[in-house]
Structure 1
Amino acid sequence: MAGRKYGLDLGTMNIRIFQGGHGLVVYEKNMIAIQRKKEVAAIGNDAFEMYERTPASIVISNPVRDGVIADINNMNKVAETLLKKCGCTTGFMRNNSFYLAVPSDVTEVEKRAYFDLIAHSAYNTHNIFVVEKPLAAALGENVDVKSKKGMMIVDMGAGTTEITVITMGGIVVSKLLKVGGNTINASICQLVKERHHLVIGDKTAEYLKLELGHAIPGQGRSKTVFGRDVITGLPSKAEVSDHLVFDSMKNYLFQVVRTIRNIMETIPPELSGDIIENGIYFTGGTTLIPELDRLFNASLRVKVVFAPKPLESTVRGLGVIMDHASDYKDLTFSLRDAAFE
């Protein structure tokens, strides 16, 4: 019996699954709740609902950290559960194919973990392929990655930011920064504690980022949030301004700008010319911060192009590769390739 094709984008905060012929079929939080150290209490969005509200007997974690699989056993449980949701079956007669997006700037051992995730699961298949994430993200935005013209793509995710220069279907240089949207959240928590003497959780920090986050300071907005008073230990509240949120994110944003500049200085002049002509492509959830295009355009003095659906670029790129497997065969690596043996 012919198998189906599945594309998996395993992000730090979200997992997206693309099924050949059906499109995006799963979009959930990449989280797992473990009860009494061994029992699965919840997975995906259900685990996220429990986050920061659990008793001591339940531990909630993200199997992916810093862009790579940090806990392959829990990642296997999450992947199997969510694949079942979209009708993916196991068994000897069902020879499914799996395409997984992997950061470019990671070690071969870390890349191998993506193969092992499926190879050691209940899915009986050797059709396991990895695709370098920047190439998939570019394809998801209808960029011709096989063009002789160079292009730069910046993927600003929750746990990492990857800046990559691509030409002729290959990667010239890629830099993975272990900072992202979660870095901003942690900074918001720290500044609220320092300036308002209030302890807040990650969910509240995410709310402040979404409501008040702005790449250009001085909007004059604020939100009331609740937490625990540092001094009394009692529940309390504070009025948090958008200036605080901007202060929380500016170091991260300027680090991205510096890294892009450094890469532009090291690549061949011809590629730099291509990037100036074509612009820099931005994707990833953190690019949803308002006015980010103005900030990067002014700081880099290069045209910037932002993905209309930045959270789906990579997984849709996997869909392109699955639907046109013969055209993009040279962009995939299989378990049998020497680079991963």
Structure 2
Amino acid sequence: MTFSLDQLRRCTVAVDLGAARTRVHVKHSGLVVDEPSVVAVNTFSGALIAVGAGAERMAGRTPAHIRVVHPVTGGMVVDIEMAQRMLRALVGEKVRRAWRRRPMLRAAVCVPQNADPLARRAAVETLAGVGARRVELVDAPTAAGVGCGLPVEQPEATMILVCGATTTQVAVLSLGAIVSAATVPMGGDTIHHTLVQHLRNHHELLLPSHAVRPLHIALSDAAAASSVPTEVHGRDVVTGLARTVSVDPQDVRNAVQAPVTALIDAIRSVLHNCPPDLVADLAERGMVLSGGTALLPGLDARLRESTGMSVHIAEDPAGCAVRGLAAMMEGNARPLTVHGCR
């Protein structure tokens, strides 16, 4: 179904359920939650041990009876019960009491542009489980476009990339709706796993999570131009002992070639499906990167080189989607039509 901006203005809570982080904006109160979308649970008793940043620090360090759960993948809720428990714990009792005093509480939540009915229903049930009586669904590219300050309501093209942890959504917007879009399984986690696998295959080294960050920096153009090797510390696959290796920045760039190429192909496909007039607009305006992975070193330069378009990184790209929802909810966005379901 379609709904107007007036329906979003009746909402009190805006939620961005991302694979990496969950953000909750309450009308007139601002951003009240910005935490990792992670839950640590005791498998024996089922009790929550930690949520958010506390649970994220436990990943890879837990005993057998503690399980670290990621209830959201690719912007879609894959474990409704855990997502509800996570939200209840993150928002706190004070906010929950305020919600319960509003029997007609409405919430707005971002969903991927290609979300199927089951994924949309999962998002609705998750918010209903924490007190929402009605849930409005907004496509993430539309919300992010509004949050970036793009004129998505105008009859001209704007291209936005929502670069998440597990997927990247590429969309061209015009007149408040998506004209052409595609989703590619390329995100921060994809780059992370690709680099870990590269070190295992070529250097027989197992990397802890925190050791991958220096390799991200090696992806930048400055690091590649300097050709200064990057040292990383990990565990030797054969001996099990700690070992340090030097990695050439060019090898790191070659390792992530496949996922980045898939993203470039998705951009070309989206442009191919756009009317010529909108493509002409994009030739002048270029594209805008939003989402946490937009800050990946060297990504904007690689897209600029491969597409010939100008590439801009939004201010605070990770918070664009929830900012856009909040702007529409608080009446700070111009009239537009978005698509969703109840």
TM-score, length of structure 1 as denominator length: 0.89
Q: Are 1:87 and 2:82 an aligned pair?
A: no
Please tell me whether the aligned partners of residues 4 and 19 of structure 1 are also in contact (alpha carbons under 8 angstroms): no
Please tell me whether the aligned partners of residues 327 and 333 of structure 2 are also in contact (alpha carbons under 8 angstroms): no
User: Which residue pairs with 2:268 in the alignment?
Assistant: 261
User: Which residue pairs with 1:309 in the alignment?
Assistant: 316
Relative distance call for 1:77 and 1:329 in structure 2 (3 A) is: farther
Q: Are 1:58 and 2:66 an aligned pair?
A: yes
User: Which residue pairs with 1:213 in the alignment?
Assistant: 219
AA aligned to 1:20 is: K
- Distance, in Å, in 2 between the alignment partners of 1:136 and 1:324 is 13
AA aligned to 1:265 is: H
- Distance, in Å, in 2 between the alignment partners of 1:68 and 1:143 is 25
User: Which residue pairs with 1:111 in the alignment?
Assistant: 120
Larger RCO: Structure 1 or Structure 2 (Cα < 8 Å, ≥ 6 residues apart)?
2
- Distance, in Å, in 2 between the alignment partners of 1:5 and 1:164 is 27
Counterpart among 95, 102, 107 of residue 98 in structure 1: 107
Which is worse superposed, 236-245 or 135-144?
Answer: 236-245
Unpaired stretches in structure 2, ≥5 consecutive residues: 1-9
- Distance, in Å, in 1 between the alignment partners of 2:94 and 2:111 is 22
How far 1:224 sits from its partner (Å)? Answer: 3.4
- Measured against aligned partners, the alpha-carbon deviations of 1:58-88 in whole angstroms (never above 9, x if no partner) come to 1112111133111111111111111227724
How far 1:93 sits from its partner (Å)? Answer: 4.4
AA aligned to 1:136 is: A
Percent identical residues = 26
Which is worse superposed, 315-324 or 66-75?
Answer: 66-75
The alignment yields a C-alpha RMSD, in angstroms, of: 2.2
Q: Are 1:40 and 2:48 an aligned pair?
A: yes
Please tell me whether the aligned partners of residues 184 and 262 of structure 2 are also in contact (alpha carbons under 8 angstroms): no
Unpaired stretches in structure 1, ≥5 consecutive residues: 336-341
AA aligned to 1:277 is: E
Aligned residues: 330
User: Which residue pairs with 2:165 in the alignment?
Assistant: 158
TM-score, length of structure 2 as denominator length: 0.89
User: Which residue pairs with 2:184 in the alignment?
Assistant: 177
Relative distance call for 1:8 and 1:222 in structure 2 (3 A) is: farther
Please tell me whether the aligned partners of residues 147 and 167 of structure 1 are also in contact (alpha carbons under 8 angstroms): yes
Please tell me whether the aligned partners of residues 74 and 164 of structure 2 are also in contact (alpha carbons under 8 angstroms): no
